Amino acid sequence: MRNVHAPVWLGSVSRPTAGAFLTLFTLEASCRALLMSVIPLTVHGILKDAQLVSLVYLGVSFVGLVASLGIPSLVYMLKRRWVVTIGAAFMVAAACLFAMGGLVPTIAGLGCQIVGTACLEIPLNLYLMDHVPRQDMGRFEPKRLVFAGGMFIIGPWLGVFMASNIATWAPFLVVGTSAVLLIGYFWFLRITDAPAVTAKLKPPPNPVAFLPRFFSQPRLRLAWGLAIGRTGWWIMFFVYTPIYVTEMGFSQEKAAAVVSVGTAAMLLVPLWGHLGRKYGFRALLSTGYLLTGVVSIAVTVLGFMDLPWGVLALLVAAGASATVMDGAGNVPFLRAVHPFERDQMTSVFVTFRHVANIAAPGLLAAVLSFAALPAVFATGGLAMFGMAGLSRFLHKRM
C-alpha cells in the first residue's frame, strides 16, 4: 500500500484551484438558495399583498447597491480576506434575524443577506481572476453555474419543506452553518492576494469615480446590461412564482417545488456553455433571451385563461429556458475587462445584481398597481425580448 504523507495531502487540498473556488461559490449559493422561496412566502404571508412585497425588496436593494459600491474601499482598509469574513458574518446574522420571525426582523435579515452577498461576491471574484487563468474562464463559468445552480435546484423546495415539516427555524440553521463552513474553508485555503494588489500604495478613489471609466467602454457596458436583464428575470421568477402559485390555490411546498423543478435545467449549463464555445456566446445569449421571453408571456396568457396546471407547466418551462442564457455566465465581462483594472471594474460590474434587485421589484410594483399578478411574467418576457436584441451587439467572435 502506498504511503500518503499528510503534509503533501494537506498541501494539495488547500491550494486555491478552480475546484476550491467551486466549493466556495457553492457554499455561498447555499446561503441564498435555501431561502429563495421561504422569504418571499414569509413576507407575503405577513403583508398579504404582492405589490407590498415588491416594495420591501425594492427598499432593501438600495442598501445592497450602496454596500457594493463601498466594497473596494473596505477591501483597501481591511484586505480582501477580512471582507470575505465580514460577508460570512452578515450571512450568519441574516439567518438569526430570519429565525426570529416578524416583519421587521425579516426585512433586517434581507438587508444583512444582501450586504453579505456583496461582501462575499466581489473579493471572491477578484481572487478567482487572480488564480484561474483568463483563457480557462469560458470553461469555469458553466461549471460554477452547475455547482451553484445545483443549490438553486434543490434549495427553494428544501427550504420550504424544512420550514413546514421540521421547524420554521430549520432552514435558517442550515444557512448559518453553510456560512460558517464557507469562512472556515476559505481560511483553510490560505488564498493570497496577487502581487499587484499587495503592492498597492494609494487608497482607492471614491467608487463613483470608477463609473465613467467603466461606462466609457462599450463591451463592459454591454456585459453589465445583459447581466442586469438575466438577473432581473431570475429575481422575478424566484420572488413571484411561489406567490403566484399559492394564490392559484396550491400549497407552499408545491409552489417551492415549481421553482426547484424550473431551475433543474441548470444541470444542462455545461452543455449550453459547450454550445456557446462552439457556435458563439452571442448566438447562445440571443436564443436564450428570446426563448425565455416567449415562454414568460405564455405564462401570463394561460394565467388570464384560468388554466392553473398549464401555468405550472409553463413556469417550469420558463425556468428551463432561462438556463440557456446562463450558459454564458459572466463571460462577456471576464473577456472584456483589462487585467490592470480588474478591482475597479469588478466593483462596478457586480452592481448588476443590485441594480436588478432595484429595477425588477420597482418595475413590477408599478405593473401591479394597475394589473393582476400574471402580468409580471409578461413584463419579464418583454424585457427578455429587449435583451435578445441587445445581445446582437456582442462581438461576432464572442
- The pLDDT of residue 199 is 47
Which of 33-37, 39-43, 151-155, 344-348 has the least mean pLDDT?
Answer: 344-348
**Predicted confidence band of residue 90 (pLDDT cuts 50, 70, 90):** very high
**Predicted confidence band of residue 23 (pLDDT cuts 50, 70, 90):** confident
- As a whole number of angstroms, the distance between CA 153 and CA 301 comes to 26
pLDDT above 70 covers a percentage of the chain that reads: 88
Mean predicted confidence (pLDDT) in 43-51: 89
Instruction: State the residue range of the domain holding 349.
Output: 10-190+207-391
Per the domain annotation, does 397 fall within a domain? no
Enter the C-alpha cell of residue 41. Answer: 412566502
* CA distance readout (Å), 46 to 43, 110, 179, 360: 5, 15, 27, 21
Per the domain annotation, does 4 fall within a domain? no
Most confident of 47-56, 268-277, 333-342: 47-56
The predicted model scores a pTM of 0.80
Map grid coordinates 461576491 to a residue.
121
- As a whole number of angstroms, the distance between CA 1 and CA 12 comes to 20
Q: What phi, psi does 22 have (nearest 5°)?
A: -60, -40
What CATH number should be reported for the domain holding residue 42? 1.20.1250.20
- The pLDDT of residue 2 is 41
* pLDDT above 70 (res 345): yes
Which of 45-54, 125-134, 377-386 has the least mean pLDDT?
Answer: 125-134
**Predicted confidence band of residue 38 (pLDDT cuts 50, 70, 90):** very high
- As a whole number of angstroms, the distance between CA 233 and CA 379 comes to 9
Which of 159-163, 195-199, 262-266 has the least mean pLDDT?
Answer: 195-199
Mean predicted confidence (pLDDT) in 350-375: 88
* pLDDT above 50 (res 133): yes
Per the domain annotation, does 136 fall within a domain? yes
* pLDDT above 50 (res 12): no
Q: What phi, psi does 138 have (nearest 5°)?
A: -60, -30
Per the domain annotation, does 179 fall within a domain? yes
Mean predicted confidence (pLDDT) in 159-177: 92
- As a whole number of angstroms, the distance between CA 185 and CA 54 comes to 35
CB within 8 A of 210, min separation 6: which ones? 72, 344, 345, 347, 348
CB within 8 A of 54, min separation 6: which ones? 239, 361, 362, 364, 365, 368
Mean predicted confidence (pLDDT) in 79-107: 91
- The pLDDT of residue 6 is 43
Which of 121-125, 205-209, 289-293 has the least mean pLDDT?
Answer: 205-209
Per the domain annotation, does 370 fall within a domain? yes
Per the domain annotation, does 386 fall within a domain? yes
**CB distance 377 to 245 below 8 Å:** no
More confident call, 113 vs 281: 113
- As a whole number of angstroms, the distance between CA 383 and CA 219 comes to 20
Among the residues of 18-49, which ranges form H helices?
Answer: 18-33, 38-47
Enter the C-alpha cell of residue 107. Answer: 426585512
- As a whole number of angstroms, the distance between CA 119 and CA 117 comes to 5
Q: How many domains does the chain have?
A: 1
**Predicted confidence band of residue 138 (pLDDT cuts 50, 70, 90):** low
* pLDDT above 60 (res 164): yes
Per the domain annotation, does 396 fall within a domain? no
* CA distance readout (Å), 334 to 22, 224, 339, 345: 17, 11, 10, 10
Q: Taking Cα atoms as reference points, which of 242, 221, 230, 387 lies closest to residue 311?
A: 242
Cβ count within 10 A of residue 254: 16
Angle 278-280-286 (CA atoms, 0-180°, nearest 5)? 130
pLDDT above 90 covers a percentage of the chain that reads: 33
**CB distance 162 to 174 below 8 Å:** yes
Per the domain annotation, does 371 fall within a domain? yes
Q: Quote the crossing angle between the two packed helices 80-100 and 170-189, to the nearest 10°.
A: 170
Q: Taking Cα atoms as reference points, which of 108, 81, 98 lies closest to residue 24?
A: 81
